[in-house]
A and B are shown apart, each in its own frame.
Chain A
Amino acid sequence: MEQKLAFLLFVCAVTLGGCAIEPWVKPYERANLADPIMSFNRDPVSASYIHHVYDSREGARGAGVATGGGCGCN
């Protein structure tokens, strides 16, 4: 449990202190990352349904679909 709290606080510290890091993938290099096939959640309605199928029939739940990546626009 303490490990988990330590991890979460680490995330905070990194986010607060890391604003000066230079991005190593430039915005104009993100063509592949912006491709829909690279999305973690391309079809949300379909993805949430199949997760529901598993969550209702298995004992495990949580930490389902990831989000992120993408075009980094704006």
Chain B
Amino acid sequence: MKFSIWRFFPVLLLLPAILELQAAVLPEERVDLLYHKYDGGGVTIDGPSFLVRKNLGESVSVGFNHYVDNVTSASIDVEVSGASEYTEERTENSFSVDYLRQKTTMSAAYTVSDENDFDANTLNLGISQDMFGDLTTISMSFAIGDNTVGLNLDGSEDFSEDTKVRSYRLGVSQVLTKNLVMAFTFETITDDGYLNNPYRSVRYCNDPACTGFSFQQEAYPETRTSTAMAVRANYFLPQRAAIFAGIRVFEDTWDIDATTYELGYTFPYQDEWIFEASFRFHDQTKAEFYSDLFPSANAQNYLARDKELSTFTSTTLGLGASYEFGRSWARIDRGSLNLQVDWIDFDYDDFRDLTQAGPVGEEPLYSFDATVTRLFASIWF
């Protein structure tokens, strides 16, 4: 786990992949093979993700997903702590079942995530219903997760802490016109237990004049509850193209407030090609107990210097191309080859870059770019 933040419980990673709540028809039978790569801020993570989904009879669909992260990290947190670049591998496997009965789909998924200092097990249950002539779909799901946090340092082999996660999610999608569909999503998540990262430290001033600073370990509250609400819309344009727009608002008991905006434009070209351009902007305010520099040691009960909890914005521009084949092949329905690249710019307002020189507390604010690549093939059969 180290300085990465993989404690984010894995079922939400795979939820859209493995738990496709859509009523009236079972999820499509398909095989997907993805190569993913994240490169930015001194961190490189890549690996495969493999999904297979198959119907058993006419009412049941089963799915399996295997996902691997190969991490090489010399992130700013690693560098500042004086540690050397580390590598590690995280593996996640998920199994799901969908049962369709008339207009209702019931789903269950179980996910196991493993790395050398973090284990997570999550169970997800969901139900989805079509109504009003199939113009409305309502879905509900809830998940429970059990995670174990370890510490991969000499002398700390006995370190082991638990966290429990529970999430509830409600979704309503509504067809408004022949060309417009909207969706509303509400989700609340509660974590309990050891929530901070055992490798991470906060810094504090050595003296009232703050001529120098020292580090001490982070201390997080033992519970966190968050609520997120999103509204999304897809609009079909004449001559076959689509516009996507979405807003998500977030707040939690750690005092973080965030708004995320998304915009996308999909335009097919001839019969085989689909191109996509997207834009995303995320704006958040810091957690109540976050500070880049505390005035003294043990300045408050809870202390954090995780840039993920700071005040920052992230801006993303994405481009994608998809080539479809196989419509007339006998054994398959169709297939596609896809490449998606996203460029993300992270800009922090109260997290400083300690690898750069500057008076204590006035080092340059940190910012970095990341490139995310997704190269994948899908086959529907």
Decide if A and B touch, CB cutoff 8 A. yes
Question: Does B228 make an interface contact (CB < 8 A)?
Answer: yes
Question: Does B206 make an interface contact (CB < 8 A)?
Answer: no
Chain B contacts of A32 at CB under 8 A?
Answer: 178-179, 236
B258 close to A15 (CB less than 8 A): no
Chain B contacts of A45 at CB under 8 A?
Answer: 17, 32, 34, 49, 51, 65, 376, 378
Chain B contacts of A8 at CB under 8 A?
Answer: 170
The count of A-to-B residue pairs whose CB atoms sit within 8 angstroms is 229
Centre residue among B4, B188, B266 by max chain A CB count within 10 A:
B266
Q: If A48-B15, A59-B256 touch, does A15 touch B138 (CB 8 Å cutoff)? A: yes
Interface residue count on the B side (C-beta < 8 Å): 91
The distance from the CB of A42 to the nearest CB of chain B, in whole angstroms, is: 9
B374 close to A40 (CB less than 8 A): no
The distance from the CB of B107 to the nearest CB of chain A, in whole angstroms, is: 11
The distance from the CB of A72 to the nearest CB of chain B, in whole angstroms, is: 4
Chain B contacts of A69 at CB under 8 A?
Answer: 137, 173, 175, 181, 183, 234
Interface residue count on the A side (C-beta < 8 Å): 55
The CA-CA distance from A22 to B170 in the complex, in Å, is 24
B232 close to A43 (CB less than 8 A): no
The CA-CA distance from A44 to B13 in the complex, in Å, is 10
B137 close to A67 (CB less than 8 A): yes
B22 close to A68 (CB less than 8 A): yes
Chain B contacts of A74 at CB under 8 A?
Answer: 24-25, 103
The CA-CA distance from A59 to B257 in the complex, in Å, is 9
Chain A: CB-nearest residue to B94: A48
Chain A contacts of B226 at CB under 8 A?
Answer: 60-62
Question: Does A58 make an interface contact (CB < 8 A)?
Answer: yes
The distance from the CB of B143 to the nearest CB of chain A, in whole angstroms, is: 11
Chain A contacts of B178 at CB under 8 A?
Answer: 25, 29-30, 32-33
Question: Does A63 make an interface contact (CB < 8 A)?
Answer: yes
Contact of B133 among A27, A49, A56 (CB under 8 A): A27
Report, nearest first, the 9 A-B pairs whose CB atoms are least far apart: A68-B173, A23-B133, A62-B228, A72-B134, A66-B183, A62-B187, A63-B228, A69-B181, A60-B250
> Can you list 19 A-B contacts (CB < 8 A)?
A11-B170, A15-B129, A25-B178, A46-B374, A48-B18, A49-B34, A49-B36, A55-B12, A56-B308, A59-B250, A61-B12, A62-B169, A63-B169, A66-B171, A66-B173, A67-B22, A68-B172, A70-B22, A72-B133
Sample of 10 more A-B contacts, CB < 8 Å, known A47-B17, A58-B282: A19-B132, A45-B51, A45-B376, A49-B374, A50-B374, A57-B5, A59-B310, A63-B250, A66-B185, A73-B24
Q: Which residues of B does A touch, CB under 8 Å?
A: 4-6, 8, 12-18, 20-22, 24-25, 32, 34, 36, 38, 49, 51, 65, 103, 128-135, 137-139, 167, 169-175, 177-179, 181, 183, 185-189, 226-230, 232, 234, 236, 240-242, 246, 248, 250, 252, 254, 256, 258, 260, 266, 268, 274, 282, 284, 287, 308-310, 314, 338, 340, 342, 344, 346, 372, 374, 376, 378
